[in-house]
Amino acid sequence: MPKQQANWSPYDNNGGTCVAIAGADYCVIAADTRMSTGYSILTRDYSKIIQLADKSVMASSGFQADVRALQKVLAARHLLYQHQHNKQMSCPAMAQLLSNTLYFKRFFPYYSFNVLGGLDSEGKCKGKGCVFTYDAVGSYERVGYSAQGSGATLITPFLDNQLKSPSPLLLPAKDAVTPLSEIEAIDLVKTCFASATERDIYTGDKVEMLVLNASGIRQEFMELRKD
Amino acid sequence: MMNLADSAPATNNMLGSEADSQRTLYPYVTGTSVIGIKYKDGLLFAADMGGSYGSTLRYKSVERLKSVGKHSVIGASGEISDFQEIMRYLDELILFDNMWDDGNSLGPKEVHNYLTRVMYNRRNKFNPLWNSLVLGGIKNGKKYLGTVSMIGVHYEDDHVATGFGNHLARPILRDEWHENLTYEEGVKLLEKCMRVLLYRDRSAVNKLQIAKITEEGFTVSEPYSLKTSWDFNAFKNPTLDAEGSW
C-alpha cells in the first residue's frame, strides 16, 4: 500500500487586515475584528491587536492559532526582559525580538503577518512614531506606514497615494513619518478599512484602532459592513 | 525497473516516515456538530448521539456532552476516541486541581485555555487530536463560551458551533439569539438549529441531548428525538411534472 498522504493542513487562514501609520509624535495601529475560515465567519468580535510593552503595539493577521502563540511568546519574553533590565522594551528592541522569534521557526513558520507600531524612545527620536512591517519568517524594515493581511493589497496603494511617501532610495534617507495630524491619520485609517471592507470578503464587522502618543494609549472602534 | 511506490511525490516530509505509524492520519469514528449558547441563567448545549464510521451510522448512543469540574461543559465533534483521550486529560487536570484542596477551582476560561494549548501543541507535532471542541461554563456569575479546533484555532462568543453547525446553525443564532433568553426559549432555539441539521447534515441522527450549566451545576437531558415533517407535496409525488425523472 503506497504511503498515505496527509489530508489535513496544519495551517488555516483566518483572514483580516492590519494597518499602522507613524506620525511625528503619535502612532496609529488598527485591525478589523472579523475572524473567518473558508467562506464562513467564525466571529465578528475578535481582537488582532496586542499591547506588548508601554510603547509597542502589534497587530497580526493570518492563522489565528499561530498569531496567539506568537503573542504569548513575545509577552513572556517581555516579562523576562522587565525582570532582567528593570525597564520596558523599546519599540525598536521589540521589533528585533519579533524578527528573531519569527525566524526561529523558519522551517515551520508562524503563519502570521504582522505590523508593529509604537513610539521611538532613543535620543532625538524620542516620542516619534515608528512602524515596522514583517513577513511570516521575520524579514522586517522600519517604514512610515504599512498594511498586512487580506486587505493589504487594497490598502497599500491608497496609502502610497495619500501619504506621498518619499522614495526609500533617496540619499540621505528621508523620513517616511507622515506630517499628518493625529486626527487626520485616524480618519485616513477609517477610510482605508471602509474601502477594504467593500471589496475584501475577509475584512469587515468592526475596526479596532489603538493610538499611542505622549499622553498614553487610546482605543477607538468603528463599525464596518457586516456582509 | 522503477518502483513507482518509491518515486518521490510532492510529499510533505515533515509528516514522518512509514515506521512512524503512531500519528493520526484520518478520523475513524466521528461525531457531527455541537452547538452552544449563552442564556439568562447560564449556558445550553446540544449535540446528537451519533458516532459515524465513514458513511455508516455505527453508534447511536454516544454521549458527546460531558461536564468538566464544577463549572464547565465540553462538547466534542470529530474522532470519538480522541475525545475520550481528551476526557482523560481533563479528568487528570481536575483531579490535580481538587488535590490542592484550597477552595479554588478551574473555571471555563482556564479549561478552554488548557485545551487550546493541548490542541495547538499536538498540531505542532503533526499528530493532532481530530476534534472540534465547544467549551463553556459559568463561574461566579460570569458566563464563558468558547471553541477550539484540531489545529488550535479558538475564540469565544455568545453562541458557537462546530462543523456543519457553523454553516447551518450560526446564521439562525445570529438572527434569533439575544441576551436573557429564558431556559425554554434557549432550548427551543437549539432544537430549531438541531432540526435544520437533522434535515441537511448527512451524519446527523435523530437522537439528541441538551446539556445545561448554571451556578447550581450541570444537567444533561435524557436522550430524545425531534419531530420532523416530511409531508411536502413535492415529496408525495416527486415525478408529477417530470415523468421519467429520478
Cα(B96)–Cα(B106) distance, integer angstroms: 10
Cα(A94)–Cα(A36) distance, integer angstroms: 29
Cα(A16)–Cα(A48) distance, integer angstroms: 8
**Which residues have a Cβ under 8 Å from the Cβ of B98 and sit 6 or more positions away?**
B105
**Which residues have a Cβ under 8 Å from the Cβ of A165 and sit 6 or more positions away?**
A144, A145, A159, A176
List B99's β-bridge partners, or say none. none
**Average pLDDT along chain B:** 92
Return the percentage of chain B with pLDDT > 90, whole number.
Answer: 83
CA B27 vs. chain centroid, Å, equals 14
Cα(A14)–Cα(B149) distance, integer angstroms: 12
Interchain CB distance below 8 Å, A46 and B155: yes
pLDDT tens column, A212-227: 999 999 999 999 999 9
pLDDT confidence of residue B239: 76
Q: Do residues A219 and A33 touch, judged by C-beta distance below 8 A?
A: no
Q: How is residue B197 written as a grid cell?
A: 441539521
Q: Do residues A31 and A17 touch, judged by C-beta distance below 8 A?
A: yes
pLDDT confidence of residue B4: 47
Chain A window 82-141: which residues touch B at a Cβ cutoff of 8 Å? 108
Interchain CB distance below 8 Å, A68 and B154: yes
Query: Which of the residues in chain A have pLDDT under 70?
Result: 3-4, 6, 123
Q: What type of residue is B16?
A: G
Q: How confident is the model at residue B25 (pLDDT cuts 50, 70, 90)?
A: confident
- Residues from chain A that touch B9, judged by Cβ atoms under 8 A, are 5
Q: Which residue has the higher pLDDT, B212 or B236?
A: B212
Q: What is the pTM of this model?
A: 0.90
Residue A38 — left, alpha, or beta (φ > 0 → left; ψ -120 to 50 → alpha)?
A: left
Chain A window 38-57: which residues touch B at a Cβ cutoff of 8 Å? 40-43, 45-46
Q: Do residues A184 and A192 touch, judged by C-beta distance below 8 A?
A: no
Which one of A7, A14, A42, A63 would you mutate to disrupt binding with B, by most B Cβ within 10 Å of its Cβ? A42
DSSP string covering A4-15: PPP-S-S-----
The ipTM, to two decimals, is: 0.90
Residues of B marked as catalytic: 24
Q: Do residues B46 and B34 touch, judged by C-beta distance below 8 A?
A: yes
pLDDT confidence of residue A123: 66
- Residues from chain A that touch B18, judged by Cβ atoms under 8 A, are 3
Q: Is the dihedral of CA A196, A197, A202, A204 positive or negative?
A: positive
Which run of H or of E encompasses B46? Answer: strand B42-48
Q: How is residue A125 written as a grid cell?
A: 527620536
Interchain CB distance below 8 Å, B155 and A35: yes
Q: How is residue A147 written as a grid cell?
A: 498594511
Interchain CB distance below 8 Å, A14 and B153: yes
Cα(B26)–Cα(B53) distance, integer angstroms: 12
Helix, strand and coil percent figures for chain A, each rounded to 5:
30, 30, 35
Interchain CB distance below 8 Å, A8 and B150: yes
Which run of H or of E encompasses B194? Answer: helix B183-200
pLDDT at residue B6 tops 90: no
Interchain CB distance below 8 Å, B151 and A45: no
Which run of H or of E encompasses B111? Answer: helix B108-124
**Which residues have a Cβ under 8 Å from the Cβ of A74 and sit 6 or more positions away?**
A50, A52, A58, A94, A97, A98, A101
pLDDT tens column, A182-199: 999 999 999 999 999 999
Interchain CB distance below 8 Å, A63 and B153: yes
Which three-class secondary structure state does DSSP give residue B233? helix
Q: How many CB pairs under 8 A join A and B?
A: 60
Cα(A113)–Cα(A138) distance, integer angstroms: 9
Cα(A63)–Cα(B152) distance, integer angstroms: 10
**What phi and psi, each to the nearest 5 degrees, are found at residue B207?**
-155, 110
Q: Give me the long-range contacts of B11-14 (CB less than 8 A, separation at least 24).
A: B11/A3, B11/A5, B12/A5, B12/A6, B14/A108, B14/B126
How many angstroms away from the CA of A38 is the closest CA of chain B? Answer: 11
pLDDT at residue B212 tops 80: yes
User: If we measure between CA atoms, which residue out of B203, B159, B212 comes closest to residue B48?
Assistant: B203
pLDDT confidence of residue B2: 47
pLDDT tens column, B77-115: 999 999 999 999 999 999 999 999 999 999 999 999 999
Provide the H-helix boundaries in chain A.
Answer: 64-85, 91-104, 152-163, 182-199
Which one of A7, A11, A35, A68 would you mutate to disrupt binding with B, by most B Cβ within 10 Å of its Cβ? A68
- Closest partner residue to A69 (CB to CB) among B120, B156, B166 is B120
- Residues from chain B that touch A64, judged by Cβ atoms under 8 A, are 153-155
pLDDT confidence of residue B17: 56
Q: How is residue B160 written as a grid cell?
A: 458557537
pLDDT confidence of residue B8: 45
Q: Do residues B122 and B19 touch, judged by C-beta distance below 8 A?
A: no
pLDDT tens column, B170-196: 999 999 999 999 999 999 999 999 999
How many angstroms away from the CA of B245 is the closest CA of chain A? Answer: 33
pLDDT confidence of residue B3: 47
pLDDT at residue B9 tops 90: no
Q: Do residues A141 and A115 touch, judged by C-beta distance below 8 A?
A: no
A12 interface with B at CB cutoff 8 Å: yes
pLDDT at residue B35 tops 60: yes
Rg (CA), chain A: 18
